[in-house]
Chains A and B, each alone.
Chain A
Amino acid sequence: DVKVTQSSRYLVKRTGEKVFLECVQDMDHENMFWYRQDPGLGLRLIYFSYDVKMKEKGDIPEGYSVSREKKERFSLILESASTNQTSMYLCASSPSGPISTMQYFGPGTRLTVT
């Protein structure tokens, strides 16, 4: 059974803190993604990685960075958390291949920045 896990389900941080969100997949997938989900906006892509140490900016990368040192792990970093980064964060992975390939999602991390 495919599995994408995220390090925390709920997280509360203070403004200005450095925040790490971790995602691990056990399917040997090449591609990994970080989205944020906000009511009325659906999912928006923050960053994407198609290989170890490789990354691409998504639609809303400002205020975020990522790290992929190992194939199975993709980290999202908030260098200095702000209240407008309060959101649900979803990680996903997919194998490389045709454009139709589906993505597998983790359970999400609900981050609150106070």
Chain B
Amino acid sequence: AQSVTQLGSHVSVSEGALVLLRCNYSSSVPPYLFWYVQYPNQGLQLLLKYTSAATLVKGINGFEAEFKKSETSFHLTKPSAHMRDAAEYFCAVSDRFSGGYNKLIFGAGTRLAVHP
């Protein structure tokens, strides 16, 4: 069965510093991978997705992620954190139901705090 592990339930950075949120997956087949963001009191919003094209994926709000098959990782980065980036971030892998329907398996989430 596929699974997702997010290392670090809480990450704190200073404004302007590099953001690195870690995600490792296990999958027996080439995965499709996603990063979602959840701002306070809101639903989840897609940041970016990897679907076996380019290994470096660029998303919204300056975020990007690199798929590394050898490390089974899909870490999320942003060169310079902004206060508005404070949110919870979820990594997810796409899994196939029996019958061919897709579902997402989510990691536990990482809460990002950004300090002035």
Footprint of B on A, CB under 8 Å? 4, 9, 31, 33, 35, 40-45, 48, 50, 56, 58, 90, 92, 94, 96, 98-103, 105-108
Q: Assess whether B101 is in contact with A56, with CB atoms less than 8 Å apart.
A: yes
Task: Report the separation of the CA atoms of residues A73 and B45 in the bound assembly, to the nearest whole angstrom.
Answer: 20
Q: Is B102 an interface residue (CB 8 A)?
A: yes
Contact between B43 and A50, CB atoms less than 8 A apart: no
Q: Is the CB of A56 within 8 A of B104?
A: no
In the bound assembly, the distance between CA atoms of A55 and B36 in angstroms comes to 25
Chain B positions 80 through 92: 1 when the CB is less than 8 Å from some CB of chain A, otherwise 0: 0000000000100
Interface residues, chain B, CB within 8 Å of chain A? Answer: 6, 9, 32, 34, 36, 41-46, 49, 51, 90, 94, 96-97, 99, 101-104, 106-109
B94: which A residues are within 8 A, CB to CB? Answer: 99-100
Q: Please give the distance in Å from B76's CB to the nearest CB on chain A.
A: 15
A94 to B97, CA, bound (A): 14
Contacts A42-B109, A56-B97, A100-B51; A105 near B45 (Cβ below 8 A): yes
10 interchain residue pairs of minimum CB distance: A105-B43, A100-B51, A42-B106, A105-B44, A43-B106, A100-B32, A42-B108, A99-B102, A107-B43, A50-B101
